[in-house]
Structure 1
Amino acid sequence: MRGVECSENVRFLRPAFEVFLNNLERFGHSMEWGTLAYHYNERATVSLFSAACWQTGMVALEEYISSKKNGDDRYHGRADMWAYCPVTGQDIAIEAKQAWVGLGTGLSTITKKIEEADREADKNEEAKIYASLTFLVPSLDADISRNDVVELFRRIHDHVLELNIDALAWWLPEEASGHRSRNRKNEKMTIWPGVLAVMRVVRMRGRGNRISSKKRLHATAWSLVPSD
């Protein structure tokens, strides 16, 4: 089960998101599902999205030094990722975060994680578009049922669509649930069955943060399918 949807603001990134999911799949198959790229950390996951930008004819940088601002202060600091599309002439500075999600994680906690990434993204300069990219990775007990996994993904999917986002990619193949290992925090046998990537534009050159909600993403092909 997988899908990608993008708003008008970041439509040029749709091919990259599609290939990002392909890269997740390729990594899993190559490792015979013994490990998963996003199981490690944010930087590992970002690397697959950056690679997807290159694979789709764009150029990209990771962990680069850029001009930043915080209120009236200007300084140089590390930015997570930048990508440029030569076809459309658009470039985007991205701040990424990765959050582990459990069955008991409240939707407000997910919102806060996205807002945290937004605040970092708003500090960036030197691009036409500034956006956050939050990877939501469910970390679940190994004995959870497939139905419960899908239900959790659907709950998160439906919630983030209410947050004026600009792109949503979701990936939860059954094979990923075959990777079981001990949770680094509590030593319980755990599965990481997939990932949801949520992008939100926080500012655009010439428009600031005045971005029309009409140009945001509010529905996907999955959201049009009634949940059980």
Structure 2
Amino acid sequence: MEEKMKKKFCICLILFIFVLYPLSANAAEPYQIIGSNCYCPDPIDTIYVNVGPSEKDNNRYASIKNKNLSFNINFFEFDKIIAQAAKKHNVNFLLIKAIIKVESNFNPGAISGKGAKGLMQIMPSNYDSLDINNPFDPTENIMGGTKYLKLLLIKFGKLELALAAYNAGPNETIKYEGIPPFSETKIYVKKVKKLYNIFTLSEKLSIESKRTKGGVK
């Protein structure tokens, strides 16, 4: 039953993403369901390398340096870790998931052109303060990334500014007294917010559907 609900949620979510949330102008491929997995286009600014917490994960997540390459992901694979991080740092579960989707497309071996690594694309300069030893370890990366996000939410007080700081850095956000005038940052903030809203709506629809079928009105 749980697996069926996950599939229904994923299908509902992908329909919303396909209609309302194209990842980029180059994302011509539609989102598809393959078994219980979601098949989604990669972020356009991320490359993937053969690294990770284990050889099995290395082989699974490794890919060539092709910015338009698509790969098979399990949309729910890191939910347990995300839930733990959300509870520990009091950050919305779906917000964390939206950031991971935009940052790395759920690939723990992701490395950006600027050197940010892992699921939440953490820069090496932040590893120590976020207690990260291996940025490719999903637990360390999500816990550290969520801790950083929480600090930004407290510091800036608004979701838009916290997201801008996550992308462009706190100093740039302070310097411009708002979202920095960088196209990448502006697009990033819009993507995460839109995806967060889509996730939230999809979850509500899934819960409502479950209640209706269960005879609860």
TM-score range, shorter chain: under 0.3
TM-score by length of structure 1 reads 0.26
Q: Could you say which structure has the higher helix fraction?
A: 2
Q: Could you say which structure has the higher strand fraction?
A: 1
